[in-house]
Amino acid sequence: MTHPDYPQTLAAQSVALAEGQFSSVELTQHYLERINRLDGQFNSFITVCPDFAIAQAAEADRRRAAGENGALLGIPYANKDIFCTKGIKTTCASRMLADWQAPYDATVVERLHAAGMVMLGKTNMDEFAMGSSNETSWFGPARNPWDTNRVPGGSSGGSAAAVAARLAPVATGTDTGGSIRQPAALCGVTGLKPTYGRVSRWGMIAFASSLDQGGPMGLTAEDVALMLNAMTGADRRDATSIERAPENFMADLGKPLTGLKVGVPTEFMDAGLSPAIRACVDVTASTLKQLGASIKEVSLPNAGVAVPAYYVVASAEASSNLSRYDGVRFGHRCENPVDLADLYSRSRGEGFGNEVKRRILVGTYVLSAGYYDAWYRKAQQLRRLIQQDYVAAFNDVDVLLGPTTPNTAFALGENIADPLTMYLSDIYTTGVNLAGLPGLSMPGGFVDGLPVGLQLIGNYFDERRVLQVAHQFQQHTDWHSRMPVAAE
């Protein structure tokens, strides 16, 4: 069992550290011990850095002894292995970058460390964030703590599994088409994809630049809000970073939901949704209604084309972003190339896995002469229609409620040979990325012992309201506090 002196949530740990109940070093040692003892069955970490973590924790204790009392000071966290970390391997779960050490920290890492957070290590993920199950990792799949024969979701599967198994109180993730929300749903934790531009992408290795967005994962909406406070803000090094006044994402958590208008998209409640998950959505809507919200059906007419539009746009941008991995400057280099063409082709052929190759090929095709208008331009036009659907919906309601995934976690190996089925696991999440909106997945029940995730979607820069709804829901339910038996 987790140590009774160490509360599980970030918020409770922050209070306990401030009261001197234990030190950051003691808390960090607790998590390092759990990782060492338990992660062999989950494979949620690629790299664990105990010496670095203890040094950071000791520095946090010194800062606190000197009078600092920041909410995140001395709190351990896990970092998705897509964020550059100076002097520590950043692999993107790939053979291509298996031994690469970044010469700098990503902006997100800089900000979390400036706030005093303690990095336990780097978490497993789908290779270059391309996948929905964490099975494309060069280091082997992460496993779902609720059933280790099932996937944790992807691409941020390692982060979700680590939080669910209490190997870290919170973690970073990235979301290109659902890669924070989908694994959060399958592992029974809370994960937030912020509005595009809220969180700097500098030092976050690119997959699809117009879609990628970093965000926090934790047990509760309160934990996510605390972490988001440190992650957001304009960054002159990222041209897509938004200039906005600083916000306190904790500010509205305690406000009641009286008068809140919640929309349930009819297109999300179709025949492809598991009846058991639909029942969880209905129960959640009823709970929110009891808390003072009104429930209304809304329509997103173009929701059905979100997946194909997403995979055209994302693959096109991936083919461009991944062209930098050529065996010349950094990353995997083939042995004894005979010429430059051989160096390029064999380095990339050996360094990339099948899913990454598939998306590069698709992306190159849709951007090629003669096909650009038929595919890429058309996908961008559909993207605008999808965005307009959401804008219209938010003229009538404050937030949208629906399922995060159509089913609970599937078995390892079940869909890996069927890319189409795998892609459809993101059917309810990709539209949010295409529109650039904030979306949160929160635990909302269990089906056959596996967690169900429910998605809240907000208007642009309305993370505070989304977090408020999730927090109020979590004050009246206990799904988020349940712990897998394998993690005890």
pLDDT in tens, 353-380: 999 999 999 999 999 998 999 999 999 9
Q: What are phi and psi of 126, to 5 degrees?
A: -70, 145
User: pLDDT band at residue 424, thresholds of 50, 70 and 90?
Assistant: confident
Q: Is residue 141 part of a domain?
A: yes
Q: Is the dihedral of CA 341, 345, 351, 356 positive or negative?
A: positive
Q: Is residue 235 part of a domain?
A: yes
Q: Is residue 209 part of a domain?
A: yes
Give the gyration radius of the chain's Cα atoms.
21
Cβ atoms within 10 A of the Cβ of 285, count? 18
> So what's the pLDDT on residue 2?
45
Q: Which of 257, 17, 219 is nearest to 116 (CA)?
A: 17
Q: Torsion-angle region of residue 142: left (phi > 0), alpha (psi -120 to 50) or beta?
A: beta
Beta-bridge partner residues of 401: 456
CA angle 483, 133, 465 (to 5 degrees): 60
Q: Is residue 320 part of a domain?
A: no
Q: Is residue 420 part of a domain?
A: no
pLDDT in tens, 376-399: 999 999 999 999 999 999 999 999
Q: Is residue 180 part of a domain?
A: yes
Q: Which of 432, 422, 473, 439 is nearest to 135 (CA)?
A: 422
Q: Is residue 40 part of a domain?
A: yes
Q: What is the DSSP string of 188-222?
A: T-EEEEPPTTSB--TTB--S-TTT--EEEEESSHH
Contact 197, 436 (CB under 8 A): yes
Task: From residue 483, give the alpha-carbon distance in Å to each of 29, 161, 162, 355.
Answer: 20, 11, 12, 32
pLDDT in tens, 228-267: 999 999 999 999 999 999 999 999 999 999 999 999 999 9
The residue-averaged pLDDT of 14-25 equals 97
Query: If you average pLDDT over every residue of the chain, what do you get?
Result: 96
User: pLDDT band at residue 421, thresholds of 50, 70 and 90?
Assistant: confident
> So what's the pLDDT on residue 1?
36
pLDDT in tens, 204-231: 999 999 999 999 999 999 999 999 999 9
Q: What is the DSSP string of 297-338?
A: EE--TTGGGHHHHHHHHHHHHHHHHGGG-SSSSSS---SS-S
> So what's the pLDDT on residue 456?
98
User: pLDDT band at residue 423, thresholds of 50, 70 and 90?
Assistant: confident
pLDDT in tens, 56-75: 999 999 999 999 999 999 99
Beta-bridge partner residues of 150: 411
The Cα–Cα gap between 348 and 361 comes to 12
Residues labelled catalytic: 80, 155, 179
Contact 164, 429 (CB under 8 A): no
Residues in the chain: 488
- At 367 the three-state DSSP class reads helix
> So what's the pLDDT on residue 322?
97
- The CATH number that applies at residue 105 is 3.90.1300.10
pLDDT in tens, 290-303: 999 999 999 999 99
Residue-range definition of the domain harbouring residue 244: 10-258+468-487
The Cα–Cα gap between 95 and 73 comes to 34
**Count of domains for the chain:** 1
Q: Is residue 146 part of a domain?
A: yes
Asked if residue 171 has pLDDT above 90, the reply is yes
Contact 402, 455 (CB under 8 A): yes
pLDDT in tens, 98-126: 999 999 999 999 999 999 999 999 999 99
The residue-averaged pLDDT of 427-449 equals 98
The residue-averaged pLDDT of 449-463 equals 98
For 205, the token pair is 């290795």
Asked if residue 5 has pLDDT above 80, the reply is no
The residue-averaged pLDDT of 14-29 equals 97
Where in 56-188 does DSSP place strands (E)? 76-80, 118-123, 170-174
Asked if residue 3 has pLDDT above 80, the reply is no
- Which run of H or of E encompasses 24? helix 24-38
Higher pLDDT, residue 416 or 80: 80
The Cα–Cα gap between 415 and 421 comes to 6
